[in-house]
Amino acid sequence: MSGPAVSPLRIGNASGFYGDRFDALSEMLTGGELDVLTGDYLAELTMLILGRDRLKDPGAGYARTFLRQLEDCLGLAQERSVKIVTNAGGLNPAGLADAVRKLAERLGIPVRVAHVEGDDLTAAHPGSLAAHAYLGGFGIAACLREGAEVVVTGRVTDAALVTGPAAAHFGWGPGEYDRLAGAVVAGHVLECGTQATGGNYAFFAEHGIQQLRRPGFPLAEIHEDGSSVITKHDGSGGFVDVGTVTAQLLYETGGARYAGPDVTARLDTVRLSRAGDDRVRIEGVRGEAPPPTLKVGLNWLGGFRNEVVFVLTGLDIEAKAALVRDQMSDALAKSAAGEVRWDLVRSDRADAGTEETASALLRLVVRDPDQEVVGRALSGAAIELALASYPGFHVLAPPGKSAPYGVFEDVYVPHGAVGHVAVLHDGRRIPVPPPHESRPLEAVSDEPSALPEPLPSGSTRRAPLGLVAGARSGDKGGNANVGVWVRSDDAWRWLVHELTVERFQQLLPETRSLDVTRHVLPNLRALNFVAEGILGAGVAAQHRFDPQAKALGEWLRSRHLEIPETLL
């Protein structure tokens, strides 16, 4: 068990993805007090990008942006005694750790740099570009306990960047599931940076543009019992309230059991409350033993793709689309491309005041394992129609060279299949044992035993769902989730009975042929829907218009249904 009570741990985050705000590291170090500063640089697509980098240069494979940020900030972190923990190591954490040491030596700053390895299982999956297990936080904790000031990891869970420092600070052991689960929830809120401080927020219009112009990055004050307060540096932009934290809790999650390598956090036990201006308390989180297996993300080169977008303007849009599809059919048949997809986007409107708003887009995408096949399918055929097709013929851009696309797949291996190791600044290697117990992951019933009573019947008005409900959506491989929440008990009484799977599929017709699961989270007044397979083989395959399902929730909010007038 934990020892005597110690002070809360202040953990900030300065990156939600590879390419996030470059100045955030400096902003977080100068904006207020911190104990630990994290940076999350990895996503499914990022691993593919880094894998392609490594093909060109075996010494690459990490987020080079982090090094450039650190050049300006390493001395500042040392002066303020802020430890830095990042997964920017990507596919090559040892390489990035060495690069940080060389940078520190060049700058004349003594710093202890450690890294975590063991996630790379590429050799066990021949043909994959990158295969990496999602490790937990105890490798990070081992590095920090042994005095590391900068810890670099490869593929760990996003929340591990927070659970590791918390476990080191408070002395938590592997079995302290409630504490670990509380840190996982805090880590999940921090991991996407400014999404917790007003970025990408459903109810953004209720706040001034100036407030949202440059949201500050979030931080968590984590307590020994695993509870936390989410906040931001005083004077930074954006805002933190129960809504922004709820939205981020729902982002890219599934059911009530949120599984990780160290603990399974029960999202249905999370309690949120306002703790002051820009302060939200998270408490009550319960944890369970983790599943017996680790998730492994596999990235493959799926083949090559090319596309052309025809612009159809004015009258007879459907007939124009039919003509160009027929004209392209011979060339497409001759190419024998493996996949041909047409999408007509009716962005046009009648009697439009501008040419652009009078136009629809007809998108043709061709995929095949053979690069030459993809090139033959589009290279000349589309452009040869320039003077021989529908009136007003033009394209957004000529077909370019075909580009490779990736495929993401997740598989599972026993914990013992990875060699999780903390590699210290002095070269010592500390093995991190697998969990001493596990619990098979089981779904919590999608309906609580006692739902609240429905609202009494009364007058309704047909209106957009988004007038009463917020939403946030995202991707997990080929699946997408849409979290929907409301801000009052009466709205919850209506939503939980109205927004069934059947209603969800009616509102989002693209999901009607898919398996959709609904999860109920009463403490958050939220529903979470998972639509399986809507993203095909994942973001890199660009299966649909919105390949990461970032706006799927906003589409749902825009759909009209009968809403009780008392809620409007």
What pLDDT digit, counting tens, does each position of 330-361 carry?
888 888 888 899 999 999 999 999 999 999 99
Query: Quick check: 301 pLDDT over 90?
Result: no
Least Cα distance to 50 among 157, 154, 190 occurs for: 154
- pLDDT at residue 447, rounded to an integer: 59
- Residue 428, SS3 per DSSP: coil
- Rounded mean pLDDT, 431-436: 95
Q: Which domains, and CATH codes, for the chain? A: 9-297+410-431 (no CATH), 300-407 (3.30.70), 460-567 (no CATH)
Predicted confidence (pLDDT) at residue 401 exceeds the cutoff of 90: no
CA atoms within 13 A on the CB side of 306: 25
DSSP per residue, 347-381: ---TT-SSTGGGEEEEEEEEEES-HHHHHHHHTTT
Q: What is the pLDDT of residue 52?
A: 87
**What secondary structure does DSSP assign to 55-70, as a single string?**
HH-TT--S-HHHHHHH
Q: Indicate the average pLDDT of the chain.
A: 94
pLDDT digits (tens, 9 = 90+) for 28-45: 999 999 999 999 999 888
Max Cα–Cα distance, the chain, nearest Å: 81
Residue 131 corresponds to which tokens in the numbers above? Answer: 């295969």
CB 486 within 8 A of CB 468: yes
pLDDT for the residue 448: 57
Given a contact cutoff of 8 angstroms between Cβ atoms, the answer to whether 268 and 256 are in contact is: yes
Q: Which residues pair with 421 in a beta bridge?
A: 117, 431
Give me the mean pLDDT over the 123-146 stretch: 96
**pLDDT higher than threshold 50 for residue 1:** no
Of 400, 386, 401, 402, nearest in space to 311 by CA: 386
What is each CA distance from 527 to 37, 215, 315, in whole angstroms? 32, 27, 42
CA distance linking residue 482 with residue 549, whole number of Å: 9
How far is Cα of residue 430 from the mean position of the Cα atoms in its chain? 30
Mention every residue, 6+ apart, whose C-beta is less than 8 A from residue 305: 365, 366, 367, 374, 402, 403, 404, 405, 542
pLDDT at position 402: 82
CB contact set of 568 (below 8 Å; sequence gap of 6+): 461, 463, 467, 468
- What percent of the chain shows pLDDT beyond 70? 98
The DSSP call for residue 456 is P
Instruction: Say if residues 132 and 123 touch (Cβ distance below 8 Å).
Output: no
pLDDT at 5: 62
Q: How far apart are CA 509 and CA 66, in angstroms?
A: 42
**Distance of alpha carbon 230 from alpha carbon 29, whole angstroms:** 17
Instruction: With CA atoms as reference, report the closest residue to 393 among 380, 381, 382.
Output: 382
Tell whether the model's pLDDT for residue 15 goes beyond 70: yes
- pTM value? 0.93
Compute how many other C-beta atoms are within 10 angstroms of the C-beta atom of residue 235: 8
pLDDT in tens, 225-244: 999 999 999 999 999 999 99
Q: How does pLDDT run across 535-567, given as a tens digit for each residue?
A: 887 776 677 778 899 999 999 999 999 999 999
CA distance 122 to 62: 16
Over residues 245-260, the mean pLDDT reads: 95
Cβ 83 vs Cβ 150: under 8 Å: yes
Q: What is the tens place of the pLDDT at every residue in 146-187? A: 999 999 999 999 999 999 999 999 999 999 999 999 999 999
Report the C-alpha gap between 80 and 332 in whole angstroms.
62
**pLDDT band per the 50, 70, 90 thresholds, residue 207:** very high
Q: Locate tokens 């096949």: which residue? A: 373
471-512: pLDDT as tens digits: 999 998 889 999 999 999 999 999 999 999 999 999 999 999
CA 227 from chain center: how many Å? 23
Q: Record the tokens describing residue 93, joined without a space.
A: 């954490």
Give me the pLDDT at residue 2, please. Answer: 45
Q: Each residue of 409-428: pLDDT tens digit?
A: 899 999 999 999 999 999 99
Comparing CA positions, the residue from 55, 54, 7, 53 lying closest to residue 33 is: 7
Is a pLDDT exceeding 80 seen at residue 298?
Answer: yes
